[in-house]
Amino acid sequence: MKIVLARDYQHLSRLGASLVTRAIKQKPNLVLGLATGETPLGLYQELVKLYRQGNLDFSRVVTFNLDEYYGLPPDDPHSYHYYMETNFFKHVNLRRENVHLPPGRPENVVAACAAYEAAIAAAGGIDLQILGIGQNGHIGFNEPGAALNATTHLVDLAPETILANARFFSCVEEVPRRAISMGIGTIMKARRILLLASGEDKALAVAQALEGPVTTRVPASLLQLHPCVTVILDRAAAGQLNGKTNREEEPVCC
Ligand code: F6R
């Protein structure tokens, strides 16, 4: 695991974008796993900037998002379909047929989850998966106690996740209680992982994930078992690390 310390959120976003850019330049048909939430917004802005400057071409890139709220249609402003469209997809030259998100309102959940896994496999597997981390250590919407080998499935959001995500809705009651998420098994199969964390409210989860025991009680701690993870942290998110972990200045990846 490579841990990179960024000066601040903007620096973190730039470092993340440069890692993604290098991966796309090395493999123009990269299969890129995407996250939503507040953390990767700066990364998406940087990628859009690089695309507009003519430094990035997404025409052959294939994307798979981690998760979607269960029950929300794609045009709901709170859905992750809508988030991706407004924050990233419409600004770059990704081809629509290359963009994938779990459906929010599938007729048959089990079949839709199996189809999502099959689509990832048909694309050749995920080359680079971008992750954020929940305050409770979740990755995707794999909450504490999630099964290690789970693939894409319907999950119940933990009460603390519902509370944390209420900031995106007008009230906590509006936050969906369930989501369709890639499982930990899906995430761990990605060839490379880029985990981003920013802010003091992530510091405990980051310390537990990177320096604590590997346990399903902190789903992100399982990343310690993955052979190629780069973690980019701003100072606040790194605030509770014990200092023994090696840190690097630049996000090289395996
Ligand atoms: C989002 C996702 C979640 C978030 C996490 C952190 O697709 O899967 O795991 O990465 O909840 O969210 P933010 O970045 O909003 O703090």
pLDDT one-digit tens code per residue, 136-182: 999 999 999 989 999 999 999 999 999 999 999 999 999 999 999 99
Query: From atom 4 of ligand 1, which residue's Cα is the shortest distance away?
Result: 132
Q: Is residue 212 part of a domain?
A: yes
Could you tell me the CATH number of the domain that includes residue 132? Answer: 3.40.50.1360
Domain span at 185: 2-248
Q: Is residue 254 part of a domain?
A: no
Q: Which helix (H) or strand (E) holds 161?
A: helix 159-165
* CA separation, residue 206 to residues 3, 78, 237 (Å): 11, 26, 7
The Cα 35–Cα 76 span in angstroms is 18
The Cα 228–Cα 1 span in angstroms is 6
Residue 154 one-letter amino acid: L
The Cα 94–Cα 17 span in angstroms is 16
* CA separation, residue 126 to residues 25, 32, 167, 191 (Å): 16, 6, 30, 6
Ligand 1 neighbourhood includes 37 CB (under 6 angstroms):
yes
Ligand 1 neighbourhood includes 38 CB (under 6 angstroms):
yes
CA-wise closest residue to 17 among 36, 38, 45? 45
- Please give the distance, rounded to the nearest whole angstrom, from the Cα atom of residue 28 to the centre of ligand 1: 26
DSSP per residue, 175-238:
S-SEEEE--HHHHHTSSEEEEEE-SGGGHHHHHHHHHS---TTSGGGGGGGSSSEEEEEETTTT
Q: Is residue 253 part of a domain?
A: no
Q: Are 138 and 220 in contact (CB under 8 A)?
A: yes
pLDDT grade for 252, boundaries at 50, 70 and 90: low
> Order of strands across the sheet with 153-156?
67-69, 178-181, 153-156
Residues in the chain, total: 254
CA-wise closest residue to 153 among 188, 101, 117? 117
- The tokens of 189 are what? 């199969």
Q: Are 150 and 184 in contact (CB under 8 A)?
A: yes
Give residue 243's pLDDT. 72
The Cα 135–Cα 138 span in angstroms is 7
Give the mutation target among 12, 39, 135, 182 for probing the ligand 1 site: most ligand atoms within 8 A of CB. Answer: 39
Is it the case that residue 254 has pLDDT exceeding 60?
no
Handedness of CA 169, 38, 68, 147 (dihedral sign): negative
Residues that are catalytic = 67, 136, 138, 143
| 39-73 pLDDT tens trace | 999 999 999 999 999 999 999 999 999 999 999 99
Give the number of the atom of ligand 1 that is nearest the alpha carbon of residue 199.
Answer: 16
Q: What is the count of structural domains for the chain?
A: 1
Is it the case that residue 204 has pLDDT exceeding 80?
yes
- Work out the percent of the chain whose per-residue pLDDT is above 90: 94
Ligand 1 neighbourhood includes 182 CB (under 6 angstroms):
no
Ligand 1 neighbourhood includes 67 CB (under 6 angstroms):
yes
The Cα 32–Cα 239 span in angstroms is 29
Ligand 1 neighbourhood includes 79 CB (under 6 angstroms):
no
